[in-house]
Structure 1
Amino acid sequence: MDLSQPSQENVEYMIEGIKNKLKMASAAAMQASAFSVDRYEDIYDIYEVTMNGGNLSISQVEAIVSELGRLRQK
C-alpha cells in the first residue's frame, strides 16, 4: 500500500492497521470512516509510531487511543 498520498482509502487502511496492532476490544467503536483525510498527516504519524513501536505498553496504547479519539470527526 502506498501511503505517500493522502486519500480516504489510505486513512481507512491505517486506522484498520492501528486497531489490529492494538488488538482493541472496542475496535468496532472506532470506524475508519469517522476519520477525515484532512487529518492525514496526524493519522500517518500515529500509524508509524504504532506499527514500528514493537510491543506497546498500556500507557502507550491509551495515549494512541486518546489521540485517535481527538482526531475523529465530530
Structure 2
Amino acid sequence: MDLTNPTTENTMYMIEQIKEKIRMVNVDAMRAENFDTDKYEDLHYIYEMVMKRKHISSNELEAIAAELGSLRR
C-alpha cells in the first residue's frame, strides 16, 4: 500500500492501524471520516512514529491522543 498519497482510503487505513497498535478504548473518538486529507502529512507522521514503536508509554499515549485530537475536524 502506498501511503504517500493523501487519499481517504489511506487515512482510514492509518487510523485503523493506529487504533489497533495503541489499543485505544474510545474508538469512536478516532473515526477516519473525522480527518481531512489536508492534514494528511501530520497523520502520516504520527502513523509512522506509532508503527515503529515496540512499546508506547502512558505519557506517549496521551500525547498521541492529543495530537490526533488536534488533527480532527
Class of the TM-score when normalised by the shorter of the 2 chains = over 0.9
Runs in 1 of length 4+ with deviation above 6 angstroms?
none
SS at match of 1:29: helix
Query: TM (normalized to structure 2)?
Result: 0.95
What is the one-letter code of the residue matched to 1:68?
Answer: L
Report the CA distance between 1:29 and its aligned residue: 2.4
Identity of aligned residues (%): 48
1:55 aligns with 2:58: no
The size of the alignment, in residue pairs, is 73
Q: 1:14 and 1:22 mapped to 2: Cα distance?
A: 12
Report the CA distance between 1:65 and its aligned residue: 0.4
Q: 1:43 and 1:17 mapped to 2: Cα distance?
A: 12
Q: 1:9 and 1:27 mapped to 2: Cα distance?
A: 18
Q: 1:29 and 1:6 mapped to 2: Cα distance?
A: 21
1:68 aligns with 2:65: no
The root-mean-square deviation of aligned C-alpha atoms, in Å, is 0.8
Moved more, 40-49 or 23-32: 23-32
Report the CA distance between 1:6 and its aligned residue: 1.1
